[in-house]
Amino acid sequence: MSTVLIYDPISEDGLNILRKAGHTLITRQELNEKNKDSIEGLVIRTSPLKGDFLSQLPHLKVIGRHGVGVDNIDLDYATKAGIIVGNTPYANAVSVAEHVLGMMLYFIKKYTLSDSLIREGKFRERDHIGLSELNGKTLGIIGFGKVGKAVYRIAHDGFAMNVIVYDPYIEVPKDVHSVEKLEELLKSSDFVTIHTPLTEETHCMIDTKELSLMKKGAILINPARGPVINVDAVAQSLRDGHLGGLAVDVFPEEPPRPDSPILTAPHVLMTPHSAALTYEAIYRMATGAAEAVVRVLRGEKPDYIVNPEVLKEGKK
């Protein structure tokens, strides 16, 4: 059978799938010049995977991405080398969507403030907290992929929110309120959540101009990729009092630099790129990535392929 490189640690559930298929597993720390030629499969989470490293694995056939985004993988090199890249697009959608709704509730229910009032003996000040409801508020969703759709279902069906969708790359169902221009969404939304991949086009897609178009007091949520927002501009908008709050699960650099402006900006909720790290999602991502590797190594097509052109060209 084949040797599979576990580039980043994954759960035992995923490792067991690879072992049961008869494959030998080695970690990145165990990789050396003698065993590089034997690597035919690779499983990775979020570590950078550059072409210069992939070029050292001449017999690599498949990369299983533990997650959805592939901006950490040199996809151009992999495609040119005939390496199939499979991911797990449905594995974390519910977990991330629930995380987003939790962030929204954090801001309008003011849990932290309410808790501190009780601890400080200020129970009677509850009348002045200023709580609100999601019901009837407008949520703008940028990107209507797997996670965007999951957020829509929970917000629209569960909380009776008005939802606006912007995604110029897919055909949004007719029963979903969509707009053709991002500006329309920004001007109308009480909450804006971003669910796009990181590309040249989406890099800093929320910048000073876009922030100025948002409602005063609106909440911006980014569980996608750090660089899709300009953190300097966002921090300034928060300090100026225009943007009402920022919730982020991702950062331009991870972990964020000690001098990152959002660390000292007001009304910021941060989580450490953990929206997808529920027990359930971790299981689905690990087993999905492992199954993709197993399928390719036995000559089958994986369920989800990021670079299907490799199959058309039949390079490996």
CA 186 to chain centre: 21
Task: Using the structure block, give the residue that is written with the tokens 């943007």.
Answer: 243
Q: Which residue among 125, 254, 300, 309 is the active-site one?
A: 254
Q: Which residue among 195, 225, 284, 295 is the active-site one?
A: 225
Measured in residues, the chain has a length of: 316
Q: Alpha-carbon distance 226 to 211, whole Å?
A: 16
Q: Does residue 273 carry a catalytic annotation?
A: yes
Q: 141, 195 in Cβ contact below 8 A? A: yes
Sequence-distant contacts of 78-81: CB under 8 A, at least 24 apart: 78/51, 78/54, 78/307, 78/310, 79/307, 79/309, 79/310, 81/54, 81/55, 81/315, 81/316
Strand-pair partners of 73: 49
Q: Which residue among 19, 28, 242, 273 is the active-site one?
A: 273
Q: Does residue 225 carry a catalytic annotation?
A: yes
Residues annotated catalytic, as ranges: 225, 254, 273
